[in-house]
Amino acid sequence: QKEVEQDPGPLSVPEGAIVSLNCTYSNSAFQYFMWYRQYSRKGPELLMYTYSSGNKEDGRFTAQVDKSSKYISLFIRDSQPSDSATYLCAMSGFYGQNFVFGPGTRLSVLP
Amino acid sequence: DTGVSQDPRHKITKRGQNVTFRCDPISEHNRLYWYRQTLGQGPEFLTYFQNEAQLEKSRLLSDRFSAERPKGSFSTLEIQRTEQGDSAMYLCASGGSSAYEQYFGPGTRLTVT
């Protein structure tokens, strides 16, 4: 079993749709949970982070962490064609010495 | 540009040659990470520096890989005796005082022929 699992997609949705992206993990030591967006041939860009369990909202983006189920989610409301990218979940321990990334989900938002 | 920079952006080398990549982090950041990313996969952690000290190294990292950060500023990643399986994007990231922070550079794409 991989340490972090993520549906690779690809996922295609119409513009304006609500998108749900998910990851599961196995290491209960993870404390920080991040979502990155990566455009083709670019480095990943941090979108949101959550410390421990709970929800966090930033504009059209909502991140949720359920540590009891070892499950994290990213919701994108009113999706736009510019949201088309690969979305990576990532996790680290308290001191941020070792980040583990999921394989990424490729999202296409169709106009 | 005050972001993370990497040099070169692309490198083509023949199998068996040595290559070295450079990363210049954001100037006030004391944490620096190296990752490798292949097509369709997320970044795979290679090593972590806090200032000049290498504090973490992936068990998956073979002895052909070595990284340095001599004065706690820029870092280099060297791959000796390259193999075709080393072909990948090599990403550098730097982080400040918050443990969740990582800002990635544009990467160095290595092709081993």
DSSP string, A27-68: -TT--EEEEEEE-TTS--EEEEEEESSEEEEETTEEEEEETT
Angle at B67 between CA B65 and CA A47, to 5 degrees: 105
pLDDT above 70 for B1: no
Query: Do you know the residue count of chain A?
Result: 111
Q: Which residue of A has its CA nearest to B56?
A: A97
The string of pLDDT tens digits covering residues A29-42 is: 999 999 999 998 89
What pLDDT band is residue B72 in, cutting at 50, 70 and 90?
confident
pLDDT tens by residue, B18-50: 999 999 999 989 999 999 999 989 999 999 999
Is B101 within 8 Å of A103 when comparing Cβ atoms?
no
- Cβ–Cβ < 8 Å for B2, B9: no
pLDDT reported for residue A102: 95
Q: What is the DSSP letter of B86?
A: G
pLDDT, position B97: 82
Mean pLDDT lowest among A76-80, A105-109, B56-60, B91-95: B56-60
The DSSP secondary structure of B29-82, one letter per residue, reads --EEEEEEE-TTS--EEEEEEETTEEEEE-TT--TTEEEE-TTSS-EEEEE-S-
Q: Average pLDDT for residues A85-109, to the nearest whole number?
A: 92
Q: What integer best gives the mean pLDDT of chain A?
A: 93
Tell me the residues of chain A between 10 and 69 that have a Cβ less than 8 Å away from chain B.
31-32, 34, 41-46, 49, 51
- Share above pLDDT 90 across residues of chain B, in percent, rounded to a whole number: 81
Average pLDDT over residues B93-106: 90
Q: Which residue has the higher pLDDT, A53 or B46?
A: B46
Q: Is A111 exposed, middle or buried (0-12, 13-18, 19+ CB in 10 A)?
A: exposed
CB pairs under 8 A between A and B: 65
DSSP 8-state assignment for residue B43:
-
Q: Confirm or reject contact between B91 and chain A (CB < 8 A).
A: yes
Least confidently predicted of A2-11, A71-80, B104-113: A2-11
Structure tokens given for B37: 């990313």
User: pLDDT, tens digit, for every residue of A54-75?
Assistant: 899 999 999 999 999 999 999 9
The predicted model gives A41-60 an average pLDDT of 92
- Name the minimum distance, in Å, from the CA of B85 to any CA of chain A: 18
**A83/chain B closest Cα distance in angstroms:** 18
Question: A16: distance to nearest CA of chain B, Å?
Answer: 26
pLDDT of residue B80: 96
Question: Token pair 């990497």 is at which residue?
Answer: B6
Radius of gyration of chain B (CA): 13
